[in-house]
A and B are shown apart, each in its own frame.
Chain A
Amino acid sequence: MKKHTWLSGLGIAAAVALVATGCSSSGGSDSGSTELTFLTHWGPDQVTMLEEAASAFTEENPDITVKVQAVPFANLLSTLRTQGASADGPTIAGIYDAWLPELARDGLAAEAPADVAKDVEENWPEGVVSAASQDGKVYGIPNEIDLYQLNYNTALFEEAGIAEAPTNWDELVTAAEAITATAPDRQGIGFITSWNSGAVHPFLSLLASNGGSFLNAAGDAADLESPEALETAELYQQLVDAGLTDPSMSGANANTTGPYLDNFVNGKTGMIIMANWWEGSLKDAMGDDFANVATAPIPVGPSGDVSSSISYSWDTIVNGNASDEKQEAAWKFLSWLNGPDSGENGSSAMGDILISMGILPSRVSDVDAHAEALSSEFLSSYVTAMETATPFPTVLGASAAADALQRQIEALLNGQADAATAMKTATTDVDAALTAAR
C-alpha cells in the first residue's frame, strides 16, 4: 500500500511545512486608500452611529476608510486572541482596560504617539489616564467609564419606614432588616453572583469605601487579609446569616441579565449596588415604576472616611502589528473621533455614541457638553462619584485574580465559607493567579 501512505504522508508534510513557514502573505500597503478595521462589542444602533462618524471622517480624509467589525462582548477578547496577531487583524480595537497590560506586553497595543499622549493627559481625569497607561506611557484613548452606586427602591423604603439612603454600614444593615421584614419573599439587599463584574466590583467598592484595597501598591499580591478587607467580608456574612440577602434571587445569566435584574424590577430586592449602564434596562423593564429608583453613594465602612466606587473604563487601542501607515491613520481617526470637533455642541462623536447608550463618557469636555443628560436623578450620583472613584487594577493576571475573588465571594454568599476563610483562600488564589501571569 505504498501509494496511498505516500500520498497521505505528502499531505501531512505539506501541512507541517505550511505551519512552519507561518502566516500567509500579509495585506500589504495599498496604494492610495488605507482601510482600517475597528473591532467593537457595540450593538447595531451604536455601530450605525460609528459608521456614520467614519463616513464623515472619510469625507475630510478621503484616503482613510474605516470598516466596523462588531462581535458580542463575550467573544470580544477571544476574537482579539485568534485574530489579533495575524497581519489582517483589526487595526483598532475597543478594549476593556483590564486587558491592556497583556496587549501592551505582546505588542497588540501600540504606544500612543507623543501628541496623542499629550492630548489624553490633558483632557482626561488622572485615574482614567493611568488605567490607559502602562509604565507611565499612554497606550489607548479612554472612552467609556463605568462605576457603581447603591441603587434602591424608594417605594420599598417608604413601606419599611426608612427616610433616607444609608450612608454607612450600620445604616445599611438596619435598612436591609427593615425591608426584609416587610414581606416574606423580599430581600433587603441583593448581591450578584455568577457574573464576574457583578460579584467582584460591588464587594471592592465597599472595601474601597472602608479604606481597604484589593491588591497591594505594587499590584503583585492581594491585600485581602487586612482588617478592612475582613470587615467587608464580615459585612457580607452578617447580611447572609441574618437572612437579609438571598443569593438565589440575585443570580445572573451568562449574558448578564437574569434574576438580579428581574427581582429589582419586580420590587423584590430593596437595594443593590450596580453600574450606571443598566439605567436603560431599568427604564424599559419598570416603565412608570422607574420613578421609584434612586441612587446614592456607596455606604462608608467603619474604617473608611470617603465613599469610593470601583471604576473601570474602556479604551481604543491601535494594533502594534499593523503597518506604520495604518497605525498613523488609525491614531488620526481616533484623535478626531474622541476630539471636540467630531460631535455636536462641543462633544466628541464618541461622546455622542456613549450617551446614546446611557453610558458615561470620561473626557472632561464630553462630560461638560452633555451636562444636562448627565444631571438626571439617576446619573448625577454616578457623575459626582467619578471624582473619588478607585480604578480597578490593571495589572497582568488581574482577570484570573478577579475570578479567584469571585469564587470566594460566592462561597461567602452561599454560606460555604465564613469571612476569615474566604479572605484567606482568596489571598492564596489571587497571589497564585498574579504570579502565574508573570
Chain B
Amino acid sequence: MNVTSTPTVGGSVRSLPRPRRRRTDRAHRGITAAIFLSPTLLVIGLFTMVPMIMTIVISFHRWSMFTPITDMDFVGFDNYARLLNDSARVQAIANTGVYVLLSVLITVPLAFLIAMLLYFPRLRGRNVVRVILFATYVIPTIAIVIIWSNIYAPGYGPLSAMVQAIGLTPPGWLSDPQWALLSLVIFNVWQMLGYYVILLVAGLTQIPEELYEAAKVDGAGIVRQTWSITLPMLSGSLVFVVLMTIINSIQVFDPIYLLTQGGPAGSTNVVSFEIQRSAFQYGQAGDASALAVSLFMLIVLVGVVLNAILKVRKR
C-alpha cells in the first residue's frame, strides 16, 4: 500500500511533494498498531487467556478453594477420567444437550417465521412489535426470573389459569421433572427471540427484489418462493443465528441458579450449574475445572464443524 500518487481532486492543491511522509512510514505504523492493540491484548490476554490457562491447570489438581491456590494437590488426569462416573454430571451433560437442541429447534424456525411476518407484509405497527420483541433481551435476567416464577406457579399463576380456562390440566411447570427443562427452554426462547428476529429481518433486506419478481412471473406461490429464494439467500444469517443460539444455550446459568437450582430430580441441572455447584458447594474445584475445559473444547468443536459446513456449502 505504498502508492504515492493519488489523483488530486478539486480543492486539494497541495501538489508540492512532502519532505518526509513520516506518518505513513511503516515503522511508525507499526508502533501505532502496537499502541492501539496493547490495551486490548493486555486486558484479554490477562483476564481471559490467563484465567483459562489457570483453569486448565486447576483441572489437574484437587482443590477445595479453602486453601490458597498454591496449595493444590496434583492428581494428573484423574478428574477427567472420573468425569463420566458421576451420575449427576452425566445428567447435566444430557440435560444441556436437550436444552440446546430444543432451544435451536424452537427458536430458529420461530424467529424465521416472525421475521417474515415483520418484513414482507406491510403492516402498521410492525416496528413497535420489533421493539417490544427486543425489549425482553435488555432486562436483567434476575429481574425477569422473579416474575416468571410467579407466571409458572401452580394454581395462582396466570399460565396455569389460562390453561385451565381452556379445560386442560396445567402441568407442574417447574415442579414436574418432565416439564421443568422445557419450561426453562420456553423462558429462554421468550428472552432471546427478539434478538434473532432482528438479525433475520436484516438478512431479509439483503435479498434482491428481482428474484421474487422473476419467480412470480414464473407463477411461483408464496411457499415456493420461500423455499427456493428466501431460505437459500438467508442461509448465512440462519447459520449465524443457529450458532449464537447454540453458544447462548450451552452457557445458560442464571435461570437455573435463580429458579430451579438444578431440580426437580436433577432435571434442570446443566453443565454450567454443575460446574458452579461442584466448585462452590462441594469444594471440588478440580472436577469443576475439568468439566469446564471439556465444555469449552466442545464449543470450539461445534464452531469448527459449523464453519466447515459453511465452507462446503459455499463451494
Contact = CB atoms under 8 A, between A and B. Distances in A.
Q: Do chains A and B touch in the complex (CB under 8 A)?
A: yes
B263 A410 contact: yes
Given A258-B149, A436-B86, A248 B283 contact: no
B50 A85 contact: no
Contacts of B12: none
A253 interface: yes
A366 interface: no
Nearest to A7: B38
Interface in A212-255: 247-251, 253-254
Contacts of B277: 403
Between A4, A80, A82, A263, the greatest number of chain B beta carbons within 10 A of the residue's beta carbon is seen for A4
Contacts, number: 166
A15 B176 CA distance: 48
B151 interface: no
Contacts of A352: none
A322 to B, nearest CB: 14
Contact of B265 (A102, A414, A436): A414
B277 to A, nearest CB: 8
B282 A11 contact: no
B42 A432 contact: no
A4 B34 contact: yes
A425 B156 CA distance: 35
Contacts of A7: 34, 38, 41-42
Given A194-B260, A251-B172, A259 B280 contact: no
Give the secondary structure class of A's interface.
Answer: helix
Contacts of B67: 85, 106-107
Contacts of B153: 258-259, 262
B54 interface: yes
A103 B41 contact: no
B85 A432 contact: yes
Nearest to A247: B175
Nearest to B27: A3
A374 B16 CA distance: 98
A416 B265 contact: yes
Given A4-B33, A262-B156, A263-B155, A414 B64 contact: no
Contacts of A408: 265
A163 interface: no
A3 B174 CA distance: 56
A11 B46 CA distance: 7
Nearest to B91: A407
B31 interface: yes
A406 B263 contact: yes
A403 B284 CA distance: 15
Contacts of B87: 404, 425, 428-429, 432
B175 A251 contact: yes
Contact of A400 (B45, B68, B279, B282): B282
A7 B280 CA distance: 36
B264 A414 contact: yes
Contacts of B262: 403
B225 interface: no
B46 A249 contact: no
Contact of A77 (B34, B172, B281): B281
Contacts of B34: 1, 3-4, 7
A375 B48 CA distance: 58
Contacts of B172: 247-248, 251
A81 interface: yes
A259 to B, nearest CB: 5
A23 interface: yes
Interface in A153-174: none
A182 to B, nearest CB: 17
B181 to A, nearest CB: 13
B47 to A, nearest CB: 9
A3 B31 contact: yes
25 contacts: A3-B30, A3-B34, A15-B50, A19-B69, A78-B280, A81-B280, A81-B283, A84-B66, A86-B68, A106-B64, A107-B67, A108-B66, A247-B176, A248-B154, A249-B154, A251-B175, A262-B156, A410-B264, A411-B177, A414-B176, A414-B177, A414-B264, A416-B265, A429-B87, A432-B85
Given A410-B266, A436-B284, 12 more contacts: A4-B38, A11-B41, A12-B49, A19-B50, A23-B68, A85-B66, A106-B64, A185-B155, A193-B263, A247-B264, A248-B171, A411-B177
Interface of B: 30-31, 33-34, 37-38, 41-42, 45-46, 49-50, 54, 64-70, 82, 85-88, 149, 153-156, 171-172, 174-178, 257-266, 277, 279-284, 287
